[in-house]
Structure 1
Amino acid sequence: MVSRFGNSSRRRGYGDIHAVNLREMIFIMIFVSFDMILGAYLIGNMTALTVKGSKTERFRDKMTDLIKYMNQNKLNKDIRSQIKDHLSLQYENTYTKASVLDDIPIALRSKISENLYIEMVQKVPLFKGCCDEFLKQIVMKLNEEFFLPGEVILEQSSAVDQVYIVSHGRLEEVAIGENGSEELIANLEPCSIFGEVAVLCNIPQPYTVRVCELCRLLRIEKQSLNGILQLYFTDSRQILNNLLKGKDTDLRIKQLESDIAYLITKQYSELALRVNSAAYHGDLYHLKDLIKSGADPCKTDYDGRCALHLAAAKGYEEIVRFLIQHGANTNCIDNFGNSPLFEAVKAGHDRTALLLIEDGATLNLEDAGWYLCKAVMGSNIDLLKRLLENGVDPNSRNYDLRTPLHFAAAEGLHLVANILIKFGADVLSKDRYRRTPLDEGRACGSKPLIKILEQAKEACLARHMVVERA
């Protein structure tokens, strides 16, 4: 049989196997079919191994899942077409995605982003006047996206959590009326920005933004933008001012003027609280970062207290020195009439008080008599001494014209009276009821106290006689 096959093949040119009967034909058909199936199986597996994990496989799987989703939810043809077109466009531009750079160090990614986007961002009107460091932080958070003509990027009255910069292409901003009519507001060309009003002012999107021609957009998330704005306070205020200036011709946006002014005021207040918090907790490094970012060391909180008040009260010498070097007002008075020096003196921080005095600080007590009388009544001798040593008049009076010596004599506090007299308290001063400290002492009946007051009276009369003779 082999010889017959061979001779036949040589004569007819059909190869090594040639069927000459039905049984051989059936065998050859089964063999060839098996060979084709095996070959297809092997080629298919080799192809699958080749594309496994590739962007083609991911795109195919994503498209399969998307088709299942659309079928399950019975989406109409227009939406199906738009979804497929957008997904295909994103697939064709996969290498512009930020995910390509995931394995690259942040420092190098920063340089790449700066090289790609910094010139574009510098031309955006919203960022005019902002520092280079701020702009570098912005470009690091940008992601590219491509959109086809007819796609709606942002819808009117929707909540927005992204801001877009136009890199290439053209879009239109339209206002949609209640009856469905459209009014063209503006054409968005390269270097334009949209979504910023809704994000910065925390309001619904004022207009619908629609693509007119194939465009490339640079997107930054709201959370990322807000995080950067919190670090760069000066640039944050500059952006809000730019937002207000850039919308002067738009009557609808002009109504946001009060909202933007409120945001600026709110930022000032929150910044003052953060600076005061850093000073109160002794966090010098955080305080330096805040001041470096544009925080005002003289800004006060709702109680009129600045960072220097809190640092002085805590005795943080380094922070007090740092604030003085950066222009803090050493004689700032809070809503309670207290100065930073008084806070340091009251808490017994002598070295901190000395730093303030060297810079020209004074106690500036609006009601010194009340503070001295309170110290006497509380038998707070240390505070009393510190106040007197820092120049508070021992003859300061309260609302009844009573001096601290009146209270000391009335309570029989001969040690306190002695301290007051050494600092120049007048034993003959009269209150509203024409009573002197000596009268109060005699009424109290304390012999040591009366003796001290009598001696002080004699010394006072002797001084008056010397003055009269002179």
Structure 2
Amino acid sequence: MKGERNERSKKHEVRDNLHDSMNSGLAFFSKDYELQNGSNTETLEVINKRCGIVIIHPNDRWYCMWVNFVLVWRIYSAFVTPLEFGFFRELTDKMTLIDGLSIVIFLVDMLLNFFVAYRDPHSNKMVYNQHSIARHYGSGEFIIDLLGCMPWDAIYKGTGRREMVRYLMWTRLYRVRKINHFFIKIENDIRINYLYVRIVKLITVQLYSVHTAACIFYYLATTMPPEQEDYTWIGSLKLGDYSYMNFRDMNFSKLYITSLYFISITMATIGYGDIHAVNTREMVFLIIYVSFNMILGAYLIGNMTALIVKGSKTERFRDEMTNITRYMDRTNLSNEIRNQIKSHLRLQYECSRTKSGFIDGIPEAVKAKLSQSLYFEIIQKVPLFKGCSDNFLNQIVMKLTEEFFLPGEVILEQGTAVDHIYIISHGSLEEVLIGENRSVELISEILPSDLFGEVAALCNIPQSYTVRVIKLCRILKIQKENLSSILQLYVKDSYQILRNLLEGNEIDLDKKPLVSEISFLITKREAELSMGVRSAAYNGDFYHLKGLTDAGADPNIKDYDGRTTIHIAASRGHEDIVKFLIQRKAEVNFLDKFGNSPLLEAVKAGHEEIAKLLLENGAVLNLEDSGTYLCKLAADNKVDILQRLLKYGVDPNSQNYDQRTPLHVAAAAGLHLVAGVLIEFGANVLAKDRWGNTPLDEGQRSGNKPVVEILEYARENAQMLF
């Protein structure tokens, strides 16, 4: 269980370090991603479990459920607080019980806040230290949260009903900020229609302002002395023949609806039903409320207008074209590229196509020209790409993205996983080593045309140094996955990059420890290359094999059985590959662990043309124990292979450890076809084994008449020649 929690802790740290390494723009998307994947986050625990302290990650699944649960009570508190302020005499005891329950829930939430990790606004890092968390919350929102949890009704009654105490109840509305955060969260959620969310938010603001104003206005009337109640707006109110003179005896719902009605009519300013102030307090309130109403009306109308205007396709096109023109002016693009971009955007507008960004919508051909115009000269100056082909560099510039970083921002954090390689276009940065006691040691300064993150990305190791901005920087970056895909296509350039990487870090004394990692990567790459060579030879992929050998792959590379590339190609019958390997000076007489040569592989597989080709280039069978091998073929009745071997010069009278020839074995087994082939290639029927037996003796002992006849006929011919 402990190992699982530590693993979860590491996952959190990787996500947080990745978040820390981004600029302010990408940090928003990283945060949004974390919120959408909150189910993957788990609770973090402090290493010192003896204290029993648990640190909660803000994206922990259970904590997020708790936050949503508390959000419901925040909405309740925001609605009830004005009611309790204005209608405190009319509310029932049940409301008091519910308030007590809400106070308990908010106290629990306050307690949890002392153990919830937070992100430092200055360093943008997650803070997991419990003392730092407690100090941060205690010096910030704790006091206001504590005031909001105070039972102000009980305190109000206990202090002789001092009205100043009741005003402290409004501290509970500090909880409304969380409701606003909730609206911001769902506004950023692309799964929810932004227009609908904004409309709901604006309606909520309007209704809540009316609700609050109604409660305050009734409060002004109910706090007047009973003998002066007719000197209030509601005490002097008459609707037809109905009078509100004894309004304190009326029920809560009637009073609330009446107050809400007149406030709503006043807010709408339709000229009928407006509240008329009776006393000075009400006049002051109406002055403030009407002024607030004008501001709120302007806010609502402005927001609705903005929503409608931004929904106009023409307006979006005009804004987008203005931004693109400014971008092209800043980058000094040629007229040809300018016209192509504008024409394409005009086409998209006419076709009513949606775009996430003008760069994404540009055709690949135009985008390639744009990338080459902006980035090619910069990439050529990067030491890592020295000596690489133009085609390779063109593929690199196609995958580059551009970002800007302000001074003081941390781009890469020491010890984090690196997913991009960064190239400096303008500005300067520094690489620093962070010690265990947070000491900082300057490693190097990074200037234009330099790059960073390349070792960590290519070697799949954590980032060795922290990289932070000194001056405003324009950074070009390429994803590790995109670079890896390009390197697989351009094998020769990939080797050049690895050599450049090794040379650059060998020269830099501060980065000497990284040389071993780069050397390991080169060794790994060579192993992958050799595997690719063998795979191409096995599958007959001539062009892939040619590309690999052109990139520096050794044609004589061996596998775990000692088989070279030409062994594999000869056994599989790929004549064009065998011919190509011979041209590349491949060793044609190399023996594998089993003593097989390329020619033997071709002969056994029956590839006559390849066997002839190998013979023409000096190949020999090189059978170390031909007698044993031929005897085994004879015993297995493999006539075809035996015949081909004899055809290519293997001695038919080769003997095994018992001095038996293949003809001995064929005669003893009664294999007349094998015996005939051996005799045809000059096998001696009179050869004796270690026991003095001849093949004829073996044939007679087996009782196979065809074999005996063949052997006797061969003996007679041999005697006649003799």
Mean CA deviation greater in 276-285 or 206-215: 276-285
Aligned to 1:314: 572
Following TM superposition, by how much is the alpha carbon of 1:42 offset from its aligned partner in structure 2, in angstroms? 9.1
Structure 2 vs 1, CA of residues 388 and 212 (structure 1 numbering), >3 Å: closer, same or farther?
same
1:364 to 2:622 alignment? yes
1:386 to 621, 641, 644: 644
Aligned to 1:79: none
Taking the aligned partners of 1:325 and 1:132, their CA distance within structure 2 comes to: 28
Following TM superposition, by how much is the alpha carbon of 1:228 offset from its aligned partner in structure 2, in angstroms? 1.6
Contact 1:162 1:199 in 2 (8 A): yes
Tell me, what secondary structure is at the counterpart of 2:591? coil
Letter in 2 for 1:131: S
Following TM superposition, by how much is the alpha carbon of 1:222 offset from its aligned partner in structure 2, in angstroms? 0.8
Taking the aligned partners of 1:254 and 1:430, their CA distance within structure 2 comes to: 71
TM-score calculated relative to the size of structure 2: 0.49
1:202 to 2:202 alignment? no
Taking the aligned partners of 1:253 and 1:311, their CA distance within structure 2 comes to: 43
Structure 2 vs 1, CA of residues 290 and 240 (structure 1 numbering), >3 Å: closer, same or farther?
closer
Contact 1:405 1:420 in 2 (8 A): yes
Contact 1:118 1:135 in 2 (8 A): yes
1:115 to 2:373 alignment? yes
Cα-to-partner distance string for 1:277-301 (whole Å, 9 max, x where unaligned): 2333344454455455554444333
Cα-to-partner distance string for 1:160-182 (whole Å, 9 max, x where unaligned): 11110111111000001101111
1:211 to 460, 469, 475: 469
Following TM superposition, by how much is the alpha carbon of 1:408 offset from its aligned partner in structure 2, in angstroms? 1.3
Structure 1 residues not aligned, in runs of 5+: 1-25, 31-36, 58-91, 466-470
Following TM superposition, by how much is the alpha carbon of 1:434 offset from its aligned partner in structure 2, in angstroms? 4.6
Aligned to 1:427: 685
Aligned to 2:415: 157
Cα-to-partner distance string for 1:302-339 (whole Å, 9 max, x where unaligned): 22334433333233344444544555444443332223
Letter in 2 for 1:449: V
Contact 1:232 1:294 in 2 (8 A): no
Pairs within 5 Å for 1:322-333: 322-325=580-583, 327-333=585-591
Pairs within 5 Å for 1:407-426: 407-426=665-684
Aligned to 2:612: 354
Letter in 2 for 1:237: Y
Tell me, what secondary structure is at the counterpart of 1:401? coil
Structure 2 vs 1, CA of residues 253 and 399 (structure 1 numbering), >3 Å: closer, same or farther?
farther
Structure 2 vs 1, CA of residues 140 and 400 (structure 1 numbering), >3 Å: closer, same or farther?
farther
1:240 to 2:240 alignment? no
Structure 2 vs 1, CA of residues 252 and 462 (structure 1 numbering), >3 Å: closer, same or farther?
farther
2:599 to 324, 332, 341: 341
Structure 2 residues not aligned, in runs of 5+: 1-269, 275-295, 317-325, 332-355
Cα-to-partner distance string for 1:11-48 (whole Å, 9 max, x where unaligned): xxxxxxxxxxxxxxx99xx9xxxxxx999999987765
| Greater relative contact order, per chain length (Cα 8 Å cut-off, separation 6+) | 1
Structure 2 vs 1, CA of residues 162 and 44 (structure 1 numbering), >3 Å: closer, same or farther?
closer
1:132 to 372, 390, 401: 390
Root-mean-square deviation (Å): 3.7
TM-score calculated relative to the size of structure 1: 0.73
Structure 2 vs 1, CA of residues 277 and 181 (structure 1 numbering), >3 Å: closer, same or farther?
same
Contact 1:291 1:297 in 2 (8 A): yes
Tell me, what secondary structure is at the counterpart of 1:169? strand
Contact 1:244 1:254 in 2 (8 A): no
Following TM superposition, by how much is the alpha carbon of 1:184 offset from its aligned partner in structure 2, in angstroms? 0.6
1:276 to 2:534 alignment? yes
Aligned to 1:403: 661
Cα-to-partner distance string for 1:409-458 (whole Å, 9 max, x where unaligned): 22232331221122122334344445443443344344443443344345
Aligned to 1:302: 560
Structure 2 vs 1, CA of residues 378 and 335 (structure 1 numbering), >3 Å: closer, same or farther?
same
Following TM superposition, by how much is the alpha carbon of 1:124 offset from its aligned partner in structure 2, in angstroms? 1.7
